[in-house]
Amino acid sequence: MFHYVEPPHSYVRTTSTSVVHHADYLVRREGHALCGATLEDAATLAEPGSADTICPDCDEKLVLYHLEWWREQALAATAELEALRAKHPETEVPVQQVDATPEPEPEPEPTTLLDHARRELVKLCREFDDAVPYFRLKNTMQAFSDGLESDERVLLAQQIGGDGTLIRWSTIEVVALGRQVSNSPVQGDSEATWDAWVQDPYPPPKKPKRRFGRS
């Protein structure tokens, strides 16, 4: 359908001047240039010569001609497409509506030491489908504890509170995240055995006892 990469151009020039004009593409008046100038005894040129000068007023209006030409091509293509659809309705492919999957919301930045520890546990649990090996859990929490200052470990112990040590708390968190802790180094249900298993490598420092001298 489209025979040209760009709109076709036609050039005209009178014998009395060396200025080359564009033909009147918009109004299509004979004997007139695109810029509106009246041309007498004008000759049509296929292409301007290398020494010819193109009328600057015609060049300014050339963009209007290009817009109108492309608009006509678009309307013609749309009309042809609609005619083909009406003639061959069986070839119409229904457009399936695809449900857009919402982007996951970014995880909130941790604000407490427990939040930081919980984020490390989430990363660890993502590496395993069912159970997290005990040595991986202990190494992860020990590495986390190694990165804390002494006062931060005290604050972390206060945040853990009744859950006991860091390894005990992390074991409970792993279960809450839908995983189990495998390869337990200790078997048994007694409280003493449990405490031996989950002994924190960095227990919170004890407060020094104040000694009072006798008067």
138 contacts 167 by C-beta, under 8 angstroms? yes
Q: Which residue has the tokens 């604000």?
A: 111
Residue type, 154: V
Q: What is the pLDDT along the chain (215 residues), one digit of tens a residue?
A: 444 467 888 888 887 777 888 888 888 888 888 888 888 878 888 788 777 888 889 888 888 888 888 898 899 999 998 888 888 877 666 666 656 666 767 777 878 888 888 888 888 888 888 888 888 888 888 888 888 888 888 888 888 886 567 888 888 888 888 888 887 654 344 444 445 444 544 454 555 555 555 54
- Tell me how far apart the alpha carbons of residues 135 and 184 are, in angstroms, rounded to a whole number: 9
Nearest in space to 132 (alpha carbons), one of 93, 63, 72, 184: 184
CB neighbour list of residue 82: distance below 8 Å, 6 or more residues apart: none
Domain spans in the chain, listed from the N-terminal domain onward: 11-86, 113-197
Report the predicted TM-score, pTM, of the whole model to 2 decimal places: 0.40
